[in-house]
Structure 1
Amino acid sequence: MCRILGHFDAHCTRDALRAVAEAQRHGGPDGQGLRSGADWALGSNRLAVMDPDGGAQPYALRTAPGEVVAVFNGELYNHRELREKLEARGHAFADACDGSVIPALFTEFGPRFTELLDGMYAIALVDLRGEPTLWLFTDDVGMKPLYHHWDPARRRLHFASELPALLTFPDVPAAPLPTGLDTYLATKTPFGERTMFEGVRVLPPGATARVTRSSGLTLVRRPPAPAAQPPHGTEPEAGDRVRELLRAQVHRLTEADVPVAAITSGGLDSGLVTALAAEAVPGLHTFTIAYTGDWPADERAFARAVADRAGTRHHQVEIDPATFPGLLDTVVRHLGQPNADPITLSTQALFAAVRRAGFPVALTGDAADELFGGYDRLHRAVHAPAGTDWVPGYVEALAAVPSALRGRLYSSDYRAFMADHGSVSEEITARLRRDGSGHPDRLAALTAFEVGERLPAYHLRRVDHLSMSSSVEVRLPFCQPDVVRHARSLPSRLKLSGGRRKRVLYAAAEGLLPESVLTRPKQPFTLPVTAMLRPGQPLMEHAREVLAPGRLRRHGLLDRRQVEALFRAQSAAPSDRAATAIWALMVHELWRERFFPATARRRVLDYRMPEVAV
Structure 2
Amino acid sequence: MCGICGVYHPGNPLNSWDEITRRIASDLNHRGPDEDGFYFNSDISLGMRRLKVIDMKTGVQPIKNETGDVVVIYNGEIYGFESIKKDLQNKGHLFKTQSDTEVIVHLYEEYGLDFFQYFDGMFAFALWDLKNSRLIVARDRFGIKPLFYTLPDTNGNFIFSSELSPMLNVPGLNRELDPLAVDAYLMLSYIPHPYSIYRGVKKLSPGSYLLAENNQVQEVSYWDLPKETEHVHYKQALEELDVAISNSVRKMMRSDVPVGAFLSGGLDSSTVVYYMTKNTPKPVCTFSVRFKEDFFDEGLQARATAKKLGTEHYEIWGKSSDIEILPELLAHFGEPFADPSQIPTYLVSKLARENVTVALSGDGGDEVLGGYITYCASMLTQYARVMPDCLRKMMMWVSGKFPVSLKHVGFDYKIRKFLPGIYLSPLEHHLLWRTIFCSEQRKNLYTADFAGALGENISNAMANRWKNIFSDYKAYDKLTPYQFLDFKTYLVDNNLTKVDRMSMANSLEVRIPLLDMEVFNAAMRLPTHARIRGLNTKVALREIMKGRLPAEVIKMGKKGFAVPLSCWFKDSLKTYVFDTLSHSRINRTGILSYSYVDSIIKMHMGGKINFSRQIWNLICFVLWHERNHR
Shift of 1:574: 6.5
Question: Could you list the runs of 5+ residues in structure 2 that have no partner in the other structure?
Answer: 386-422
| Alignment-derived partner of residue 431 in structure 1 | 468
Which residue matches 1:28?
Answer: 32
Q: Secondary structure at the match of 2:567?
A: helix
Match of 2:616 in 1: 583
Partner Cα separation in structure 2 for residue 477 and residue 468 of structure 1: 18
Which residue is equivalent to 1:273? Answer: 272
Cα distance in structure 1, aligned partners of 2:78 and 2:472: 33
1:8 match: 8
CA distance in 2, matches of 1:37, 1:200: 24
* Cα deviation 1:524-568 (Å, max 9, x = unaligned): 11111111111x413x32222221111121232111111111111
Q: Residues 490, 456 of structure 1: CA spacing in aligned structure 2 closer, same or farther, 3 A cutoff?
A: same
- Please give the alpha-carbon distance, in whole angstroms, between the structure 1 residues aligned to 2:240 and 2:357: 31
- 2:397 is matched with which residue? none
Conserved? CA contact 1:148–1:158, under 8 Å: yes
**CA distance in structure 2 between the partners assigned to 1:432 and 1:481 by the alignment:** 20
Matches within 5 A, 1:118-267: 118-130=120-132, 132-214=133-215, 216-224=216-224, 232-234=232-234, 237-267=236-266
> 8 Å contact 2:3–2:162 — kept in the other structure?
yes
Deviations 1:193-230 (A, max 9, x none): 1111212111111102201243x111111234759967
Residue aligning to 2:53? 49
Could you tell me how far 1:192 is from its partner in structure 2?
2.4
Whether contact under 8 Å (2:207, 2:221) holds in the other structure is: yes
SS of structure 2 residue aligned to 1:5: strand
- The corresponding residue for 1:600 is none
Distance 1:203 1:352 in 2: 28
Equivalent in 350, 357, 371 of residue 348 of structure 2 = 350
Q: Are the aligned partners of 2:232 and 2:525 in contact in 1 as well (CA < 8 Å)?
A: no
Q: 1:88 aligns with which of 87, 90, 98?
A: 90
3-state DSSP class of the match of 1:385? Answer: helix
| Aligned partner of residue 442 in structure 1, secondary structure | coil
Cα distance change on mapping 1:481 and 1:146 into 2, 3 Å: same
Pick the aligned partner of 2:62 from 54, 58, 61. Answer: 58
Q: Are the aligned partners of 2:207 and 2:223 in contact in 1 as well (CA < 8 Å)?
A: yes
Separation of aligned partners in 2, 1:219 and 1:237: 39
- Conserved in 2, the CA contact under 8 Å of 1:262 and 1:362? yes
Alpha-carbon distance between aligned partners in 2 of 1:428 and 1:376, rounded to the nearest angstrom? 24
Name the residue aligned to 1:100.
102
Say if 2:594 is the partner of 1:551. Answer: no
Q: How does 1:553-572 map to 2 (within 5 A)?
A: 553-572=587-606
- Higher mean displacement: 543-552 or 114-123: 543-552
Partner of 2:392: none
Residue aligned with 1:347, SS = helix
Please give the alpha-carbon distance, in whole angstroms, between the structure 2 residues aligned to 1:110 and 1:144: 22
Contact 1:391–1:432, Cα closer than 8 Å, also in 2:
no
CA distance in 2, matches of 1:513, 1:5: 43
Give the total of aligned pairs.
585
Corresponding residue for residue 611 of structure 1: none
Q: How far off its partner does 1:136 sit?
A: 1.1
Query: What's the secondary structure of 1:121's corresponding residue?
Result: strand
| Separation of aligned partners in 1, 2:449 and 2:615 | 21
Shift in alpha-carbon separation, 1:433–1:462, aligned structure 2, 3 A: closer
TM-score normalised by L of structure 1: 0.91
Tell me which residue corresponds to 2:437.
Answer: 401
Alignment of 1:307 onto 2:299? no
Verify the 8 A CA contact 2:4 2:73 in the aligned structure 1: yes
Q: 2:318 maps to what in 1?
A: 319
SS of corresponding position for 1:377: helix
Q: Give 1:147 shift.
A: 0.5
Contact 1:302 1:516 in 2 (8 A): yes
Distance 1:402 1:531 in 2: 23
Q: 1:196–1:211: structure 2 CA closer, same or farther, 3 Å change rule? A: same
Give the distance between the partners of 2:102 and 2:466, measured in 1 at CA: 44
What is the deviation of 1:168?
Answer: 3.4
Structure-2 residue corresponding to 1:494: 530
State the 1:47 CA deviation: 0.4
1:488 positional shift: 2.0
Cα distance change, pair 406–123 in 1 and its aligned pair in 2 (3 A): same
Instruction: Please give the alpha-carbon distance, in whole angstroms, between the structure 2 residues aligned to 1:230 and 1:400.
Output: 36
Q: Give CA-to-partner distance per residue, 1:421-477, whole Å, 9 cap, x none.
A: 3324532553366446x5452222222221123211111111111101111000000
| SS of equivalent residue, structure 2 residue 295 | coil
User: When the two structures are superposed, what TM-score results if normalisation uses the length of structure 2?
Assistant: 0.89
SS in 2 for 1:94: coil
Distance 1:429 1:125, change over 3 A: closer
In 1, distance between residues paired with 2:613 and 2:432?
14
Q: Is the 8 A contact 2:149 2:160 kept in 1?
A: yes
1:601 maps to none
Deviations 1:336-363 (A, max 9, x none): 1222210001111110111122x11000
Question: Equivalent residue for 2:508?
Answer: 472
Partner secondary structure for residue 98 of structure 1: coil
Cα contact 2:208–2:223 (8 A) shared by 1? no
Q: Which letter does structure 2 place at the counterpart of 1:562? A: Y
Residue 68 (structure 1) shift: 0.9
Question: Partners in 2 of 1:308 and 1:19 — Cα distance?
Answer: 47
Which moved further from structure 2: 135-144 or 172-181? Answer: 172-181
Cα distance in 2 between the residues matched to 1:401 and 1:123: 36
How is 1:323-402 mapped onto 2 (pairs within 5 angstroms)?
323-324=322-323, 326-357=324-355, 359-385=356-382, 388=423, 389-402=425-438
Q: By how many angstroms is 1:101 displaced?
A: 1.6
Percent identity for Structure 1 against Structure 2: 28
Deviation, 1:513, is 0.8
Aligned to 1:288: 288
382-391 or 14-23: which moved more? 382-391
* SS class of match (2:537): coil
The verdict on how the C-alpha distance between 1:559 and 1:230 changes in structure 2, with shifts beyond 3 A counting, is: closer
The yes-or-no answer on 1:420 pairing with 2:456 is: yes
> Do the aligned residues in 1 keep the contact of 2:125 with 2:139 (CA within 8 Å)?
yes
Q: Are 1:192 and 1:454, in contact at CA under 8 Å, matched by a contact in 2?
A: no
Q: Deviations over 1:365-385 (max 9, x none)?
A: 000111111112222222321
> Which deviates further from its counterpart, 555-564 or 8-17?
8-17
**Alpha-carbon distance in structure 1 between the residues aligned to 2:593 and 2:230:** 55
Residue 549 (structure 2) pairs with residue 513 (structure 1): yes
| Shift, 1:273, TM fit | 0.5
